[in-house]
Amino acid sequence: MTTITRVETFLVAPRWLFVRVETGSGIVGWGEATCEGRSETVRAAVDQLAELLIGRDALRIEDHWQVLTKGSFYRGGPILASAVAGLDQALWDIAGKHFGAPVHQLLGGPVRDRIRVYGWVGGDEPGEVRDHVAAQVEAGLTAVKMNASGRMSPAASVAELDGVAARVAAAREVLGDERDVAVDLHGRFTLANARRVMPLLEPYRPLFVEEPVVPENSHLMGEFVRSTTVPVATGERLYSRQEFLPVFQAGIAVAQPDLSHAGGITEVRKIAALAEVYDVQLAPHCPLGPIALAACLQVGFATPNYLIQEQSIGIHYNLDAEVLDYCLDKAPLTFVDGYIERLTAPGLGIEVDEQAVRAAGKRAHAWRSPVWRHRDGSYAEW
């Protein structure tokens, strides 16, 4: 019997919300519904949505997704989409375990044998950037991503703009011509600032520049895309095909849906198919935990237009716990020569350490986004 009998959530360090779905046959599926800084709210949403799943067949994944997403008059937004995402991942995990196959096999089979991954680098000064990039290269990565800046003035000074260019130049110096750097503007730049900085970055040929404008200003994306030769990426704060469509039409090159924010495997597969129509590659957002990463990889192994995968192993803000701490076997998510090999175990392809998760869930972990302000005291985009 694949009837759903129980749904549990675990808020664990450093800032992740895990979802556990149990069936009458004893099969357990895991998902990740993390919404950074709002996971307690998502947890309440998961509890409420669980009422629609208990007593139902876990294998009716598409039907469940439709009901969970559309079964209320008020729809959409990151809280609901993240709650649905965690449950959806868990249902796919159950399906894979039930049929004895990895999820990507259920999605049509593999189109590749390994997926390229990138890691984050920090550093406020060019020298620090060089050191952090060198460490990632030493770890075997062939691509990194970095923030363009910290807090950015609405009308950036010459020093602020030159500082961005100097840090990217430092990264390129270490990486050489055979490796890649992506640059995240993180929605911290006004359109004017973003347009001003791009000519300074173009000589360093970033893999892509990410989130040049905040998602609520997606109507400005086309103007930005037309102003630069660098491929443009966005999508970590877009939660559905409908929200991605305008930026596809605006000409972005890389879509970055988050498997824990954008409705899970079911919706991201559809986003990927829509992206293919617009010649857009996928590079899912995932500075999250092992379950979210495994879900991303399962989609990637079955998706032709999949560029690269973000992962947060060793990232500076993973405090009190690391990505692999909640895995019984760390080997499946270990990268070799900058790639993760195809996951072959049933379901999401990883074995969650339930004992470690339950122990971590008993401790309080309430992560909050910082609040930044400009020098005049007004709010600054984080």
Q: Element (H or E) spanning 248, and its range?
A: helix 241-250
Q: Compute the C-alpha angle 375/376/377, nearest 5°.
A: 90
Decide: residue 153, CB within 10 A, 0-12 exposed, 13-18 middle, 19+ buried. middle
Q: Catalytic residue, from 285, 316, 365, 374: name it.
A: 285
Question: Strand, coil or helix: what is 102?
Answer: strand
Q: DSSP secondary structure string, 17-33?
A: EEEEEEETTS-EEEEE-
Contact 128, 293 (CB under 8 A): no
Q: Which two tokens stand for residue 115?
A: 């997926």
Q: Catalytic residue, from 64, 186, 261, 365: name it.
A: 186
How far, in Å, CA of 349 to CA of 262, rounded?
21
Q: Is 285 a catalytic residue?
A: yes
What amino acid is encoded at 58 in this protein? A
Q: Is 104 a catalytic residue?
A: no
The bridge status of strand 339-341 relative to strand 372-373 is unpaired
Contact 118, 84 (CB under 8 A): no
Q: Element (H or E) spanning 266, and its range?
A: helix 264-277
Q: So which residues are the catalytic ones?
A: 186, 285
